[in-house]
Amino acid sequence: MRPLRILRAGFEEHSVIDEVMRDMQQQRIDDLIPDTLILVQHPEVVTLGPKAQRDGINLPSYPTRIVDRGGGITYHGPGQLVCYPIIKWEKEEQSIRGIINRIEDWVMASLADCGVDGYRDERMMGVWVDEHKICSIGLSFKHWVSRHGTAINFDIPNRRIETLPCCGLTPGTTTSLTALGHSHDLEGRFIDRSRLEEALLIHLEEFLGRKAMVPEDWSPELVA
């Protein structure tokens, strides 16, 4: 089983990580680095995919960035864990729907580890809880190396995400675990970034088919 390098990037601007992902995707294509998973939180920003750009969406109350993943708008901010898999998918794995399903299953298993019942919904890919979407997935591929990833909303403050038509859904459909009353796991531990990372790493091998290496801290000052 191939190893998966785990990089904990702390709290970092989306623009910084976006540039890092582009470089690392090419490095992975060239076999200069192993498969890599970046775990990060971003300062508040709404990313605009091609659909949002075509629809002329304007969000004057939010900082925005244009990105090249599929879809419409996605919120990033405090209280959200973002996972970016820079993975070279093997020939037998090369199905976009199949890869998305694996990531959905991975997130659902990790939520179940925290006592939360997540599921798929025909309205939109991602992971849903209590009729609301709490996890978004958006990927782009180059030579079957993935970039961008999945965002899990655990405790986004001030209803900043609920006012947005994320992924074209009605405002209020996308929310966070805490807003739905899922603030603690079955052991009474707060479901925060640390708890989610713990669960994701436990289930990573089963669903992504890679063996996690010892997590490393990453910052822009370090070589990726």
**Are 134 and 174 in contact, with CB atoms under 8 Å apart?**
yes
3-state DSSP assignment of residue 11: strand
Contact 81, 41 (CB under 8 A): yes
Q: Which amino acid is at 152?
A: I
CATH class of segment(s) 3-217: alpha beta
Catalytic residues: 167
User: Which ranges in the chain belong to alpha helices (H)?
Assistant: 14-29, 50-54, 96-113, 193-208
Q: What is the pTM of this model?
A: 0.94
The burial of 56, by beta-carbon neighbours within 10 Å (0-12 exposed, 13-18 middle, 19 or more buried), is given as exposed
What does the pLDDT profile of the chain (224 residues) look like in tens digits? 899 999 999 999 999 999 999 999 999 999 999 999 999 999 999 998 776 666 667 787 899 988 887 678 899 999 999 999 999 999 999 999 999 999 999 999 999 999 999 999 998 999 999 999 999 999 999 999 999 999 999 999 999 999 998 888 999 999 999 999 999 999 999 999 999 999 999 999 999 999 999 999 988 776 54
The SS3 assignment for 167 reads helix
Q: Decide: 177 and 154 in contact? Cβ < 8 Å.
A: yes
